[in-house]
């Protein structure tokens, strides 16, 4: 049984006591000491339950939110409207200094190695807390989330330049939330994901995930027959038209998933206003109360659904109707056929 007090938070790295980055952090540390430490603790550990800890505040709030707190106060927290300019910037920088860089001080001669291995360690810890549930603890895929070590985006990412976008914006259409991490934290996440990518590539005897070679069990001739027959694919698609060269554009799992359900396919909507005016465009939003579309000029229009007549045409729904009709062999055959369309 381990018992510990709520305030026994690991001490955050004191900028003043670290050789690394001491110069840039010093004014921030001073600002913190004079304005904040009395309530939030010398090491940002907080005094619970009254005063919250500020360690990690940068991924709970945006800089803007933190500034709003500082300038207007909240509840028992006084306002500090005079905290402005370089002192404010320095304080924000100090608040974003992660406790994690404390591990960088563990003795090692090669400074660059210390940096990168501590980045990976820091990224690993962040990843375990925030990403592992969906992407797996080793980033090789898990509940809901894809294997990141073979993601095209990850493979083309350099130092977090692409990963950061996905982390910050999320992928709302896939229910991936946006995360409010600092640049340093995103870099550490990217470092961890890339280290896992290297690890995965060197794993013996194959690994988790779906290889192009896994998806070669079908019969292309039967797939073609299904395409033109029972599958009714030819009603909308053509091997020499929209699907010509499809296997050059997509391969493996990506091709199979697009074949089964092409995410992001557009729906067309025709709207008749009470005046009789007719509009048509691409569906942007629809719930039971509001319908929104973009017309051919790219202008957005929306109406209450009860005020207009409308008709939505979603050709992609044909893919949904097929789900209950496919056998697994149909899918493998169809996949084999599509792979011949080069």
Partner 1 sequence: MKFLKNVFVVAIGVLTLGAVPCSLMAQNVDASMLLHPPADSWPSYHGDYTGRRHSKLTQITPQNVNQLTLAWAFQTGRSGEIKSSPLLVDGVLYFTIPDNVWAVDARSGQQLWHYTYPPNKGDHIGQRGVAIYKDWLYFATPDAHLVSLNAKDGTVRWIVQVADVEKGYWSTEAPQIVGNHVIVGVGGDMDNLQTFIRAIDPETGKTQWQFNSTPPPGTPHTATGGTTWMSGTYDPDLNLIYWGTGNPTPVLTGSTRPGDNLYTCSIVALNPDTGKLVWAFQPSPHDTHDWDAVEIPVLVDGTFHGQKRKMLMQASRNGYFFVLDRTNGKNLLTVPFGPVNWAIGLDKKGQPIPNPKKEPSPDGVLIAPDEGGLTNFRSPSFDPKTGLFLVDAHPSWSIYFAKPADGTYGWAGADYGLWGKGVLEAIDYQTGKIRWSHELGPGGAGAGVLTTDSGLTFTGDAHGNFLALDTANGKTLWHAGAGAYIASSPITYKLDGEQYVLTSGGSVLFAWKLPSTSR
DSSP lists the bridge partners of residue 268 as 282, 313
Which structure tokens are listed for 127?
A: 């990843």
Instruction: For residues 238 and 128, give the distance between their C-alpha atoms in angstroms, rounded to a whole number.
Output: 45
- Smallest gap from Cβ 260 to partner 1, in A, equals 5
Neighbours of 28 (CB within 10 A): 22
**Which lies closer to partner 1 via its Cβ, residue 109 or residue 143?**
143
**Which lies closer to partner 1 via its Cβ, residue 214 or residue 313?**
214
Instruction: For residues 332 and 336, give the distance between their C-alpha atoms in angstroms, rounded to a whole number.
Output: 6
Report phi then psi at 78, rounded to 5: -70, 160
**Which lies closer to partner 1 via its Cβ, residue 15 or residue 331?**
331
Judge contact between 42 and 11, C-beta under 8 A: no
For CA atoms 133, 139, 142, 143, give the dihedral sign: positive
**Which lies closer to partner 1 via its Cβ, residue 303 or residue 326?**
326
- Smallest gap from Cβ 132 to partner 1, in A, equals 6
- Smallest gap from Cβ 148 to partner 1, in A, equals 12
Judge contact between 179 and 188, C-beta under 8 A: no
Instruction: For residues 319 and 10, give the distance between their C-alpha atoms in angstroms, rounded to a whole number.
Output: 53
- Smallest gap from Cβ 31 to partner 1, in A, equals 18
- In the three-class reduction of DSSP (H, G, I as helix; E, B as strand; rest coil), residue 300 is classed as strand
**Which lies closer to partner 1 via its Cβ, residue 83 or residue 316?**
316
Q: Give me the sheet containing 268-272, strands edge to edge.
A: 300-304, 290-294, 278-286, 268-272, 309-313
**Which lies closer to partner 1 via its Cβ, residue 261 or residue 300?**
261
**Which lies closer to partner 1 via its Cβ, residue 253 or residue 338?**
253
- Smallest gap from Cβ 285 to partner 1, in A, equals 8
- Smallest gap from Cβ 32 to partner 1, in A, equals 14
Judge contact between 179 and 59, C-beta under 8 A: yes
- Smallest gap from Cβ 332 to partner 1, in A, equals 6
Instruction: For residues 297 and 49, give the distance between their C-alpha atoms in angstroms, rounded to a whole number.
Output: 55
Instruction: For residues 153 and 294, give the distance between their C-alpha atoms in angstroms, rounded to a whole number.
Output: 29
- Smallest gap from Cβ 38 to partner 1, in A, equals 7
**Which lies closer to partner 1 via its Cβ, residue 215 or residue 341?**
215
> Residue 139: left if φ>0, alpha if ψ -120 to 50, beta else—which one?
left
């Amino acid at each position: 049984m381990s018992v510990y007090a709520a305030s026994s938070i690991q001490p955050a790295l004191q900028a003043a006591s670290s050789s690394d980055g001491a110069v840039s952090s010093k004014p921030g540390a001073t600002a913190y000491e004079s304005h904040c430490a009395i309530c939030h603790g010398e090491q940002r550990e907080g005094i619970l339950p009254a005063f919250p800890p500020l360690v990690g505040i940068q991924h709970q709030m945006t800089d803007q939110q933190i500034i709003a707190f500082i300038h207007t106060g909240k509840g028992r927290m006084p306002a500090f409207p005079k905290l402005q300019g370089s002192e404010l910037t320095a304080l924000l920088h100090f608040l974003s200094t992660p406790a994690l860089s404390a591990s960088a001080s563990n003795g090692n001669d090669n400074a660059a190695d210390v940096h990168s291995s501590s980045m990976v360690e820091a990224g690993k810890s962040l990843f375990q807390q925030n990403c592992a549930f969906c992407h797996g603890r080793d980033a090789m895929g898990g509940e809901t989330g894809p294997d990141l070590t073979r993601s095209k985006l990850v493979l083309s990412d350099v130092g977090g330049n692409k990963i950061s976008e996905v982390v910050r914006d999320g992928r709302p259409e896939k229910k991936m939330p946006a995360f409010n991490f600092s640049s340093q934290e995103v870099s550490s996440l990217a470092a961890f994901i890339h280290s896992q990518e290297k690890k995965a590539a060197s794993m013996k005897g194959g690994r988790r995930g779906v290889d192009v070679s896994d998806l070669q069990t079908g019969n292309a001739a039967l797939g073609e027959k299904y395409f033109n027959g029972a599958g009714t694919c030819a009603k909308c698609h053509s091997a020499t038209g929209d699907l010509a060269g499809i296997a050059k554009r997509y391969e493996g799992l990506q091709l199979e998933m697009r074949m089964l359900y092409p995410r992001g396919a557009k729906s067309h909507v025709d709207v008749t206003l009470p005046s009789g005016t007719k509009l048509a465009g691409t569906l942007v939003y629809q719930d039971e109360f509001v319908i929104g579309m973009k017309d051919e000029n790219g202008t957005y229009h929306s109406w209450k659904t009860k005020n207009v007549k409308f008709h939505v045409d979603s050709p992609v729904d044909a893919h949904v109707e097929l789900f209950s009709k496919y056998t697994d062999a149909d899918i493998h055959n169809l996949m084999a056929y599509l792979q011949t369309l080069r």
